Amino acid sequence: MTIKKELMQNEKLTFNRRDFLKQIGLGTTSLALLPLTQSCAILGQPRPGALYNEKYRPQFHFTPRINWTNDPNGLVYYKGEYHLFFQHNPSGINWGNMTWAHAISKDLIHWKQLPNAIEPDELGTIYSGSAVVDWHNTSGFQTGKENVLVAFYTSAGRHAKVKKPFTQSIAYSNDRGRTWIKYEHNPVIEHIRASNRDPKVIWHQPTKTWIMALFLDDNDFILLFSRNLKQWTRIQDIRLAGSGECPDFFELPVDGNPNNTRWLFWGGNGRYLLGSFNGHKFTPETREPLESVVGNHYAAQTYSDIPEADGRRIQIGWMRGGKFPDMPFNQQMSIPCELTLRTFPEGIRLCHVPVREIKKLRGKKYSWKNTPLKRWENLLCGISGELFEIQAEIELGDASQVGFKLRGTPVVYNVEKKTLSCRSKTANLTPVDKKIKLHILVDRTSIEIFANDGRTSMFCCFPLDACNTLLNIFAHGGQVNIKSLNVWKLKSSWR
């Protein structure tokens, strides 16, 4: 992480007090005149050597330096950089004063936080939205050689000094996202209904138009289209039962076949519809919304403008509801995931797997193949650490339960019920040829489980026992065969 080069890694280095305090939003105060460690103590912030290594700081999930964060916003890729904007309170540890903060990465794993991008104004605070590269300058905003980035966000007028309804606004950047200019004629979409919000914009190549998905109220959404990103026309109403806010709308091949695709209309809690889209109308083929995730995963958004040579659909979610005792920040993002559509006996379903870049953090490896696991036996005895990646393929045999205990937290597969559980969360998981596959990521404040190549995805966000660094694999009621088991200790992405 470039933070260690720019700010602080240990107290043997020399730091500029004003630069550090500016990074946390207080660079112009009188605190800048105090010694840095004294300033941090007064502010309740970690000393420089502790930044990004606090007791409950996730070590390979994005968190802001300080204060509150929630929805990922404006996920866009441009010239080697993944941009992650996010809902942020720059002045408090709890929700409020919503601002678009900003981070960038070259690999989705190592992040550098930049200055805040879009801040509240007379139209309101800055709620969630999206961003695109306007490759053909349809907006006319481009002024130099760089392609213009355009961001869409909700102006939350309820929080303005003079209260207003919620409207949709845009801002643009001609310097690779480093600075942003709000469009002088904002808002571009006037109030429609209730707290309408969360514009997600995509480019539809066949019709050469921009399409926006927008949440209205309750379970109601709409689609709009535009040719210039400034004027928008409503084209369709969509209902996504049991959902609400933060829509996404994208196309994926089925089983990797580019000639057989489906469009997904996605809601903030991970429910989605499958169907077709011709540029004017989305036609669902699933009568009821399908479930895609279990646990702490909300307001997820996929990246715009991933290069065709890469071709992945990459998603990041907010791990809503996590607890971070006595930390200078609050809340975290999920691991970035690659989304695919695969065909199962029950139909076409969405699958999640961690992005391949997680491999960059792998350290020491432990491996087993075709190894019987007897009742109460633990192959992982003696392995200790904080951060792990685990991949296992297990032939179920005659055991009633099989699973892991990860730093004190059980992950259990019930063979008879065909369910996978972690803490209070349970998901269905059907074996394939009497086998299950588990891909697990363990961080200081989360366990993420991707089962059967992502058919079941479970996100658990909570502070793990800092004193328990042990691993256990177990079988109860009988014996199973460990077809394969790989365990890696992971390195921190901040160092």
Q: Is residue 14 part of a domain?
A: no
> Which residue range is the domain that position 406 belongs to?
363-490
Q: Which one of 222, 250, 278 terminates a domain?
A: 250
pLDDT reported for residue 108: 98
CATH number, domain with residue 476: 2.60.120.560
Structure tokens at 11: 């107290």
Contact 148, 141 (CB under 8 A): yes
Tally of domains in the chain: 2
Angle at 35 between CA 33 and CA 41, to 5 degrees: 110
Same structural domain, 195 and 62: yes
Q: Is residue 39 part of a domain?
A: no
Q: Which one of 218, 250, 282 terminates a domain?
A: 250
Peptide bond into 187 cis (omega under 30): yes
Q: Which one of 250, 273, 304 terminates a domain?
A: 250
Q: Is residue 267 part of a domain?
A: no
The one catalytic residue among 19, 71, 218, 453: 71
pLDDT reported for residue 51: 86
Structure tokens at 71: 């929805």
Contact 404, 413 (CB under 8 A): no
Same structural domain, 369 and 229: no
Q: Tell if the pTM clears 0.75, that is, is over it.
A: yes
Chain center to CA of 450: 15
Give the E-state strand segments of 384-492 in sequence order: 388-395, 401-406, 409-414, 419-422, 425-428, 435-443, 446-451, 456-461, 471-476, 480-490
Whether 310 is catalytic: no
pLDDT reported for residue 215: 98
Same structural domain, 246 and 373: no
| Neighbouring-strand partners of residue 425 | 422
Q: Is residue 162 part of a domain?
A: yes
CATH number, domain with residue 243: 2.115.10.20
Same structural domain, 246 and 368: no
Q: Is residue 356 part of a domain?
A: no
Same structural domain, 97 and 240: yes
CA–CA distance, 339 with 397 (Å, rounded to integer): 31
Per-residue pLDDT of the chain (495 residues; tens, 9 = 90+): 333 333 333 333 333 444 444 444 444 344 434 343 344 433 444 454 488 999 999 999 999 999 999 999 999 999 999 999 999 999 999 999 999 999 999 999 999 999 999 999 999 999 999 999 999 999 999 999 999 999 999 999 999 999 999 999 999 999 999 999 999 999 999 999 999 999 999 999 999 999 999 999 999 999 999 999 999 999 999 999 999 899 999 999 999 999 999 999 999 999 999 999 999 999 999 989 999 999 999 999 999 999 999 999 999 999 999 999 999 999 999 999 999 999 999 999 999 999 999 999 999 999 999 999 998 899 999 999 999 999 999 999 999 999 999 999 999 999 999 999 999 999 999 999 999 999 999 999 999 999 999 999 999 999 999 999 999 999 999 999 999 999 999 999 998
Widest pairwise Cα distance in the chain? 69
What secondary structure does DSSP assign to 186-248, as a single string?
--SB---STT-EEEEEEEETTTTEEEEEEEEETTEEEEEEESSSSS-EEEEEEE-TT--S--E
Q: Is residue 351 part of a domain?
A: no
Q: Is residue 417 part of a domain?
A: yes
pLDDT reported for residue 198: 98
Same structural domain, 232 and 367: no
Q: Is residue 421 part of a domain?
A: yes
pLDDT reported for residue 221: 98
Same structural domain, 246 and 383: no
In the block, tokens 């009821």 appear at 288
Entry field: residues in the chain: 495
